[in-house]
Amino acid sequence: MALLEVSGASVQFGGLTAVSEVSFHAEPGEVRAIIGPNGAGKTTLFKAIAGEEQLSGGTIQFRDEPIHTLTPHEISARGVRRTFQNGGLFGELTALENILAGLHTRIPSSFGGLLVGTKSARDAEKAGTRRARELLELMGIPHVADQWARDLSGGQQRMVEIVRALATDPPLLLLDEPAVGLAPPVRSELLKIIRRLVEEENIAVILIEHAIEFVMTVCDTLMVLNNGELIAEGPPEEVRRNREVLEAYLGR
């Protein structure tokens, strides 16, 4: 059994087929990168996995359970977490509160408990805050904890968003263009973090990326989408030599 099993997934917008019968599976301890020209359907495929787009055909299974009929929050609650292409931080919350929002399902304080201020509700909130601080420390950014998310630099925002997505130890992480706009040192830091997560925590990562050197060093398996179709899949070096890919993507 695969962690994530995508079989014949298609997404249509009116007459346009954005994703066309894509099949692949993701395993724990593996980084999978998706590349492809603009409009190839990469982000649409992500949205379909996350439940933000309906499939017009095919199935998506996570841990042997069909998830393509579930809502985004249900899929997220099952352990599929994602980051967003243009940053999905909550600007009016601090970095710490953003992580706490990521931990939402792990803070067992009830409405009634909070209303009357029971000890268990307060303890749940405190334990969540402690955990959020630990996570920021673990990622080496404890100093941003109490800053407003919208005031953070681009690199810090990306890191906080990744910490937030990882807060609940999800088995599958979807990263939509994690390296775009990052300075080279931050980028290599990010690369190290992703590799460490995959190797030490044994999670599966699927990422969309344009920066080809980043992709080549970070991933174990490279997937190429073109016009919604999966045209190549394999170890990055192999895919790089594929003629069809060279024509479609690299334009040579």
Partner 1 sequence: MKPTRSLFWLLPLAALALPLFINPYHQYVINLILVYVLVGVGFNIVVGNLGQLAFSNVAFFGIGAYASAIFTTQLGIPWWLTIIPAGLAGALAGCAASIPALRGVRLFYLAIMTLAFGELMRWTYIRTPFLTGGSMGLTVPPAELFGWVLETETQKFYVFLVIVVVIVVAVGRILESRIGRAFLAIKNDERAAAAMAIPTGRYFLLAFALSGFVVGVGGAMYAALVGHLSPEAFDLVQLILHFAIIMVGGLGSLVGSIFGAILITATPELFRDWPGFEELMFGIVIVLVILFLPRGLASLLARLHPVFKDRYLRDD
Tell me which residues touch partner 1 (CB under 8 A): 50, 52, 71-74, 76-77, 81-82, 84, 88-94, 97, 100-105, 107, 109, 111, 114-117, 121, 125, 128, 148, 164-165, 168
CB of 23 or CB of 105, closer to partner 1: 105
Nearest to 249 by CA among 21, 31, 40, 33: 40
At closest approach, how far in Å is the CB of 107 from partner 1? 5
At closest approach, how far in Å is the CB of 159 from partner 1? 16
CA 219/CA 190 separation, integer angstroms: 13
> CA 18, 246, 236, 216 torsion: positive or negative?
negative
CB of 83 or CB of 221, closer to partner 1: 83
At closest approach, how far in Å is the CB of 177 from partner 1? 15
Which of 130-133's residues contact partners 24+ apart within 8 Å by CB, and which partners?
Answer: 131/103, 131/106, 131/167, 132/96, 132/99, 132/100, 132/103, 132/167, 133/96
Q: Cβ of 198: how many Cβ atoms within 10 Å? A: 20
Q: Residues 67, 3, 21, CA angle at the centre, nearest 5°?
A: 60
At closest approach, how far in Å is the CB of 99 from partner 1? 10
Q: Which residues contact 101 (CB under 8 A, 6 or more apart)?
A: 90, 93, 164
CB of 17 or CB of 156, closer to partner 1: 156
At closest approach, how far in Å is the CB of 181 from partner 1? 18
Q: Could you tell me if 225 and 36 are in contact, meaning their C-beta atoms sit under 8 angstroms apart?
A: yes
At closest approach, how far in Å is the CB of 233 from partner 1? 26
- Output phi, psi for 130, to 5 deg: -60, -45
CB of 98 or CB of 226, closer to partner 1: 98
CB of 158 or CB of 240, closer to partner 1: 158
CA 140/CA 102 separation, integer angstroms: 18
CB of 180 or CB of 212, closer to partner 1: 180
